[in-house]
Amino acid sequence: MGVESVFAAVRDSTARWPEATALISPDRAWSRGDLLAAAERFAERLAAGRSHPRRVVAELTDPAATAVVTLGCDLAGISVVHRDPDLARPMADTSRAHGASDLLFHDGGTRPPGPRDVLWSEALTLWGGPPEGDPPADRVRPAAPAGRTGPPATAAVPPGSQIFLTSGSTGTPTGVVRTAVSVLADARRVGEFLGYGPDRPVVSAAPLFHAYGFNYGLIAPLLFGAVVRCCPSRSVPSQLARAVAETGAHTLIALPLHYGLLSVPDEGGRRGNGSGAPSAGPAGLAGLRQAVSAGAPLAAGTAARITRRFGFRFYDCYGSSEVGAVSLTRLVGDESADDVAIPLPGVDTRVEEGELLLRSSSLAAGRTTFDGATMTPLAGDDGWYRTGDLAGLAGDTPGGFRLMGRLGSLINVAGKKVSPAEVERVLAAHPAVAEVQVVGAADAARGQVPVARVVLRDSTPTAELIGWCRDRLTPHQVPRGIHLVAELPRSAAGKPVADPARDGSG
């Protein structure tokens, strides 16, 4: 069996529909043949350059550029680091984001080009200059010096990998290394489950620098012949409705934030917005058959409001950059903590000492430091990956599991363990609570105590929320403080993130 290639897999599927539209970016529609031809030219230019890069660091807002860089680097056997382009804005020294022999490639969407950057060109000259000749010497980072000292790598990063950055507990980016084998296995699993095909367009508002948007909103559509319309991750409901109406979309790939907005009717959704744009209400999304949410938990009540308001099938994805898609659970609006997630075909599950372990063909190869110097393999010798998620297996459902929070997020209250997810579920059930996040705060007497950040729908005293918790939780689980906030701090994918400056038991 030969080594799998993302480029080859997309090329093979393209042979059936070479002139069909593959991707609609903000500026133009790209046929499948045009994307492949651009990727081939990109690979040729990389190979012809005077300094062959070890990796390409992609800071891209243009989805077509992401597709070309992904396919071209796969063809050239060069790894790609997918980086949030917005992170470049406050960074004066972008060299911290990559190694000395990396090629920084961006489209100017979030910052002007630096003297060592390569700028994406819509005309596909690719180096910002004439199409003939090598890229300018001052735009290719020098090769790393020979004889580099330091700790030996535990494993080599496979050539042509796709690397997705995640923030560790220290805030230092860690790269999750996904090989072509795991990328394709993940995309095929998702595309088959969701029924992607040439007559079933996809609208995606999930960022492509995250594995969720990359897999569901780019690679899977390319493999299955579905045209994808890529929208910015900050799109509002009316923009999503317009994209769905214009493409006749069958599937919407979006973030929990989008569904939170879609679930609440506004003046435009009820009476039309007066601009001639499609309504974001049921009529505006009438042609949509299914929608997927991933990247973060849905806010309390969102699933119920979505399923009451719209007729499409609504799926919640459990997965991560490390494991890809694990389960797609259809939501009907009355979900509870006892609901069971069923793994997708080809995903094996087991629980050891309360921790969920997974094994599948879509597991990442490992994690690498931000400069790519070392990589730690992800799975053990037996192929099982420890997710760090607390779970229990459902005895009457083969492979089924119930998630109960994060192992590493447990709060140690004088030796008693508190699951933030359990406290969040109780607070989220209060009618006045729109969103909640529970974190651990330092406490001199007990080591840690739970505190909660709460976004309210209606004005409610915090004392009432504390009383609500006391009636439903054991004493050590009750939050020692509730902080009312306008919104929860979130990552680019919409996931609530810790903000130590705002924690405290006061």
Residues in the chain: 506
Alpha helices in 315-461 (DSSP H): 420-428
- Cβ neighbors of 306 (< 8 A, separation 6 or more) are 259, 262, 263, 291, 314, 331, 333
- Per-residue pLDDT reduced to its tens digit, 87-119: 754 333 334 444 556 788 877 766 666 655 555
What element of type H or E holds 448?
strand 447-456
Q: Does domain 6-144 have CATH number 3.30.420.40?
A: no
Q: Give me 103's structure tokens.
A: 């090629």
Tell me how far apart the alpha carbons of residues 222 and 225 are, in angstroms, rounded to a whole number.
5
Task: Tell me how many helices (H) and strands (E) the chain has.
Answer: 12, 25
Mean pLDDT, the chain, integer: 81
pLDDT given for residue 300 in this prediction: 76
Determine which of 20-29, 39-48, 301-310, 461-470 has the lowest per-residue pLDDT on average: 39-48
Q: Got the DSSP string for 335-347?
A: --TT--B-BPTT-
**What CATH number does domain 180-266+278-406 carry, 3.40.50.2020, 1.10.1740.10, 3.40.50.300, 3.40.50.12780?**
3.40.50.12780
**Distance separating alpha carbons of residues 326 and 342, to the nearest angstrom:** 8
Measured in degrees and rounded to the nearest 5, phi and psi for residue 354 equal 80, 0
Smallest Cα–Cα separation from 503: which of 461, 448, 464, 432?
Answer: 448
Q: Would you place residue 289 in the very low, low, confident or very high pLDDT band (cuts 50, 70, 90)?
A: very high
Tell me the percentage of the chain whose pLDDT exceeds 90.
Answer: 47
**Cβ atoms 324, 281 nearer than 8 A:** no
Highest mean pLDDT (candidates 199-208, 360-369, 374-383, 386-395): 199-208
Adjacent-strand bridge partners of 58: 82, 105
pLDDT, tens digit, for every residue of 127-148? 333 333 444 333 333 333 333 3
**Enclosing H/E stretch for 327:** strand 324-331
Question: ∠ CA(402), CA(407), CA(410), 5° rounding?
Answer: 110
Domain boundaries, the chain: 6-144, 180-266+278-406, 410-502
Asked if 6-144 and 180-266+278-406 have one fold, the answer is yes
Q: Tell me if 118 sits within 8 A of 135, measured CB to CB.
A: yes
**Cα 58 to Cα 165, 174, 282, distances in angstroms:** 11, 15, 37
Q: Are strands 202-204 and 228-230 parallel, antiparallel or unpaired?
A: parallel
pLDDT above 60 (res 298):
yes
Digit-coded pLDDT (tens) for 441-470 = 888 778 889 999 999 998 999 999 999 999
Chain position carrying tokens 């006061």: 506
Q: 3.30.1600.10, 3.30.300.30, 3.40.50.1980, 3.10.20.30: which CATH number matches 410-502?
A: 3.30.300.30
Q: How far is CA 377 from CA 78, 100, 399, in A?
A: 19, 23, 25
This prediction's pTM:
0.79
Please give the residue that has the higher pLDDT: either 327 or 97. Answer: 327
pLDDT value of position 286? 86
Q: Where are the beta strands (DSSP E) in 3-98?
A: 21-24, 29-31, 55-59, 79-82
Q: What is the mean pLDDT of residues 240-252?
A: 95
